[in-house]
Amino acid sequence: MNIMGIVLAAGQGKRMKSKLYKVLHQVCGKPMVGHVVTTLEHINVARSVVIVGHGAESVQSYLGDRVEYALQERQLGTGHAVLQAKELLEKEEGLTIVICGDTPLVSEETLQGLVQHHQQKGAAGTIVTAVIDNPRGYGRIIRDADGTVKRIVEEKDCDETERLVSEINTGTYCFDNKKLFEALSQVKNDNAQNEYYITDVIGILTSQNEKVEGYVMQDAAESIGVNDRLALAEAERLMRERINRKHMLGGVTIIDPAATYIEADVTIGTDTVIWPGTTIKGRTTIGEECVIGPQSEITDSVIGSGVAVKQSVLLEASVGNGTLVGPFAYLRPGADLGQNVKIGDFVEIKNAKLGDDVKVSHLSYIGDAVVGRNVNFGCGAITVNYDGFNKQLTEVEDDAFVGSNVNLIAPVKIGKGAYVVAGSTITNNVGANDMAIARERQVNKEGYAEKLRSKFAAKKQAAKQNRE
């Protein structure tokens, strides 16, 4: 079956009170329209047309060539918006799903159920509906005795009986494509707003004795449309619950789901434990049997299996199996850690590749470096990678030892098995198995500390007398 999608994304969204185009506001790390397009992709829609208006360039910049576009220069209603796709789609055979770009919670399962119901019933049009406790403000679905949809009645037009109906129109539809555009050509704008409504297509189809169905979504929460910041926060909460539930059912332990934020494109392996206060964002991938958190932030990173990340920040980093990170470590873009690496407290790694079994345990900075296997960095050791104009590379080969408070002034190379004595500032290469010492010889001045104390006390007494 050939399935098309039309995404209504032309509204400015004035109630958002934002410079950002409404459908680009994010829910769990992805713009709302991105959620909708991704869901259409997952049900194998052959062609998706996004109707753009205000902020068209920003939407096109985000979605790129994933979809086709039609411009609604003037916002004259939902029916008018769908009509903008006529030139692209009217000759297609098959079904067309019409969905709003500000409904990020509509799921793949709901759209699959919609298409299946539409086909099984042989309908010309099918409305996705929801049954809610308080339908105030929504259009009501009025059915015939046999369950076929008779019409949609807006609340202001409901009589007392219709007002009691709890089944509402969610604004998502499935149509026979050709019948959709034939009916759209008959839609009029003789209403108070002088706009063309997609809901009028339902009335036109029923007046032509075409079959119109209603498909009730299982989870009414999916029907939420985001028009202001309150609805955006609610969508965020519901999406976060859905994401966390998916991970937990997939074998991930989340100690406190209410205190854990995981974005939509994150992948987590089984038997991993996520502690409270953790935020996992972007396209992060986490392996099996990891322990993440508490209070960690991970973005666009790849983490192997058996990894522990405690109270640390990872941004575009790669972490090998069995590695320990934190507490209070910062892995910046380009940090690439091998297996069984130890990154301890207040350590920062940036654009550096570290081999297996490397230890950087305390208060160190490793930037723009290539480090071999089984290298140990002492407390306070750093690579001095920036000369004020350019970044330079530090190389440390296998089995080297870099003592505490060592400065490696790049570009410099420390050979295999070399030993750099604590407190050294290294400006020249160190050969394999060599020991490097680069610090001033210690000088002890006998009794001089007592002289300094006496001198300081005298100055302090003189200052006190001057004040008096």
CA separation for the pair 314, 295 (Å, rounded):
12
Which is nearest to 340 in space by CA: 313, 360, 369?
Answer: 360
Residue 25 among the catalytic residues: no
CA separation for the pair 324, 414 (Å, rounded):
25
The answer to whether 222 touches 132, Cβ cutoff 8 Å, is no
Which whole-number Å values give the CA distances from 414 to 398, 410, 423, 463, in the listed order? 9, 11, 16, 53
Residue 8 assigned as binding residue:
yes
Residue 9 assigned as binding residue:
yes
Residue 220 assigned as binding residue:
no
Which residues partner with 302 through β-bridges? 285, 318
Residue 74 assigned as binding residue:
no
Residue 415 assigned as binding residue:
no
Residue 210 assigned as binding residue:
no
Residue 77 assigned as binding residue:
yes
Show the tokens assigned to 293.
């958190």
What's the order of all strands across the beta sheet hosting 273-274? 253-254, 273-274, 291-292, 308-309, 324-325, 342-345, 359-362, 376-377, 401-402, 419-420, 435-436
Instruction: State the catalytic residue, choosing from 25, 35, 247, 362.
Output: 362
Residue 205 assigned as binding residue:
no
Residue 22 assigned as binding residue:
yes
CA separation for the pair 353, 396 (Å, rounded):
10
Which whole-number Å values give the CA distances from 218 to 106, 203, 451, in the listed order? 11, 25, 85
Question: Among the residues of 349-468, which ranges form H helices?
Answer: 448-467
Residue 281 assigned as binding residue:
no
The answer to whether 307 touches 289, Cβ cutoff 8 Å, is no
Residue 130 assigned as binding residue:
no
Task: List CB contacts of 49: < 8 A, sequence separation 6 or more.
Answer: 4, 5, 6, 7, 67, 68, 69, 70, 85, 88, 89
Residue 385 assigned as binding residue:
yes
Residue 78 assigned as binding residue:
yes
Tokens 């994150």 locate to: 266
Residue 272 assigned as binding residue:
no
Residue 376 assigned as binding residue:
yes
Residues making up the annotated binding site for UDP-N-acetyl-alpha-D-glucosamine are 8-11, 22, 72, 77-78, 139, 154, 169, 227, 332, 350, 365, 376
Q: Which residues are catalytic?
A: 362
Annotated binding site: 8-11, 22, 72, 77-78, 102, 139, 154, 169, 227, 332, 350, 365, 376, 385-386, 404, 422, 439
Known binding site for Mg(2+): residues? 102, 227
